[in-house]
Structure formats: structure tokens, C-alpha cells
Structure 1
Amino acid sequence: MTSYTKWMISLVILMITVTVFVIWLIQERFFETTEDLTVHEAEEIIMNLYGGSVESIEEKNDIYYMTVLRNNLAYDFQIDSETGNILQLNKVDGNKLPDMSANVKTIEEIRTLLNGQQKGTIHSISYQDVGEQPQYAVEITEQETLKTLIINAITGEILSEKVKQQNSSATHTVTIISSEEAKQIALSQLIGTVEDVVYEDASDGGYYLVEIDGENQEATFQINAVTGKIISVSNQDDDDDEDSDSEDSRDENDDD
């Protein structure tokens, strides 16, 4: 092999090496693959834009769900984990924040609870401090249906549910009160012990039958499950029963 041939082989090898290196640089510069945001990067995006402090963060279906406190207000964020774009921002209702000292469930606990019970996509969760019963208002969409749930913030119980068919020109709304609400309505009329609560379905939304044993009276309340109005009350006085028993006893003694 002549020196010229060796020189040509070396030149070809050098050219191939340089070409491979250039191709590698181009791929790194222009065709680098994008990776999903980490939790820390998602937090940095929100902190740089809005400030405050991150209270909770959860990733589901390529979306980060984040709750942020800023100036004593709570905000719910939804962030695309691939692009870093903020998909949704909701402020928690009013200036009220959940009082965790009262064993109130966090927004993320409510979200986790509903994910196991409800189908569809959770769009917003808003805290509502209603007297002695703090609540969460939750909006969920499933296909053409929008559901608004009122949830006990301590127990996680669904207190009421409102359903709207969004694909209909005339929107139909059906609201069913909970059995707990039906009991409270009946107890507002007669103080006593609730013996039984039964729901009866009907074409107009159904009704509850609530049986209460009061101090001197037993009554059964029929309550409209949609409006919460008392349809009828059937009662029986304990004193009347005792009087009837006494009269029966006297009659038996007279017969003897």
C-alpha cells in the first residue's frame, strides 16, 4: 500500500467522523425531544407568574392540579405537564379558606374521593363556609352533562346534585335534596327522634317519608325531594293512645 493510498484512507475516515459529529450537533440543536415538566418546574412557573405558596399539587392525565395560597386567597390551577401552559385558574369562593382545625377535607382529598365515585372531568372545586356545615361546590362534566355537587366538607357526603343537559336547546335541571336535608326539614316542624327515612321515586322527582317520634306525638312527614316542601303530615298523639288504652282497660274491668 502506497503512502498516497494511506493518506486517502485517513482523509475519508476524518471526513466521516466530522460528518457524524455535525449530524449529532444538528439533532441536539434542532430536534431535541421535549420532556414533561417536573413538579418543581410546574411550581416555578406559577411562583414566577403569581407568587404565593403551593399548598398541594397532583398530576393526572398529563395535567398538574395545583392549589396556591396568595394574600389569604386560594386558587386552583390546571397546568399542561407537556407545554407548561396554564389551562384553567379558579379562585376559591369568596375570601374564605377551609378551616382545617375543624377536620375539613382538603380540595385534593375531595378530588380524590370524587375520582373514585364520579365519572367525568372535575372542572372546579370551591369551598363554601355555610354556618356549622362547611361545604364544597364541585362542577363535573361528562359528555353533554354538567353536574354541580354540594359536598359536606367534613364527611365527604354528597348533599345535593344538580344535572344539566348541555346539548339540549331547553336546559332541564333536576335537583334532589339529600336524606339528611329531608330529616332537617321534618325536625324543624317536630323536635324528636328520627325513626325512619324512606325515599319514594316518582315522575315529578319523588318524595321522602320521614318518621319522627316526638315527646308527645309521632308524625310522618311527606317531603317533596325536589322542592323540599312538606306535602303532608300524618300524626298520632301519644296521649290519645294512652287514653284509648285506659278506656279499653276500664271496659274489660266492667265486663268482669
Structure 2
Amino acid sequence: MRVMKRPWFIPMLLTLIILAVGGLFIGSLLTKEKVLADVEIRSLLEGMYNGSVADLTMENGVYGAEIVRNDAVYVVEIDAVTGSVLSLVQTGGAGKASTQVLSEEEIRGMIAEKNTGEVEHISLDESDGEPVYEVKLSKNQQLTTVKMDAKTGLVLSEKIDETTIENAVITKKQAIKIAHKKLKGEVEYVTFKKTDDGGYYLIEIDGDHDEAVFQIHAISGKVLSIIWDD
């Protein structure tokens, strides 16, 4: 072909190839999930469990580590991208709380050491054989659910509750305005609960003299219930 003999054709072709390959490479970097460094994982575990971390390894996107705390040894697995704890198993040592369930006061003390949020609710779940405390913490208008081993006090998981949904008929901001019509004050937290009829918001407001939790329908905006704190 005559076009192949033109002096500008080959340099232009090479440029197009380089741009295409470079675009694919950059695209792969943008879509690849960032893995947390082992230093970050070690710091996260030490802060979460207040113990020493040993034998930190990573395989197939999961960090594995051994934690020593209060003469007890635990093996933990952590998601390398999100830092979420996938499993925690005690493999050695008796530990202070191996046979006795910690009190709510002890759990509150442990929570206060690691969190700046306010404890809204604590419940003990013994249905699965191994007792677990579920603690609800409010901070920055969010509610975080923390699950802790009731015998050791180790944090098993932390999850921020949903505060709204995408394209909601009644937005989080609108739901707060509806609640403020009933009670003026500081919003402690907002959570969203999914249901078959559209879901609802739970909003806790701390007023000057009263405190209440409002249940507001996410489609109609109707106040379904108000629980006043005596």
C-alpha cells in the first residue's frame, strides 16, 4: 500500500499503539483495589485488640496474623483491602476471661479506651453458644455497631449502620427536618432500616430538656413512632 511508504505513517502508528497500551495500563491501575500495607494492618490490629502482633502474612487478598493478649493467643484473618476482620480464633492460653462473661461496665470501659463515640445501647447475645456483646455507638450523626467477645473483650467486627439510600423519596436531611418539628436539638445519629414498604429512618435527637428517637417513613415522611427517654 502507498500509505505504508509515507514517512509519517510508521511514527504515527507507533504513537497510537503506545497510547492504547498506556491507556489499558492506566485503566488497570485505576480499577485495581488498593491493598493496605502490612504496617497499616499491624497498627490496626494492635489498636483494636491491645495486643502484640506476630507472624503477619498475606495470601490471596487476606492478611493472617497471630495476636498475643493477656497470655492468650489468637489467630486472626483480615481483608487486605477493607481492613475488616474476617475471623478470630483463640488457639492457646487461658486468658483472663476465658470462662467468665465480662460485665457491661467492663465492656463500657474497654469501649471508652478505643472510641470517642457515645454508647447508646449494649446487649448480650448468647444464642450461638459463644457470648457476644453488641454495642451501639453514636458519633458524627452515625451509628456504629461493634461486636465484642463477651469473655475476652476483643472486637470481632465494626460496622457503620446505613444512614440513607440512593434516590430516597425522603432524604436523610428531610427526615431530620421532620423530626426537628417535634423536638429541637442536636442529632445524635441517623440510621436507615430497609423494609418491604420502603424503609424508615431512626433519628435520635438530644433536646434541651428531652431526648427521643423518631421513626420516620422513608416514602411518606410520616412519623411512625416516638420513643421518649425518661
User: Structure 1-normalised TM-score?
Assistant: 0.26
Greater relative contact order: 1 or 2 (C-alpha under 8 angstroms, separation 6 or more)?
2
Normalised to the residue count of structure 2, the TM-score between the two structures is 0.28
Structure with the larger helix share: 1
Which of the two has higher C-alpha Rg? 1
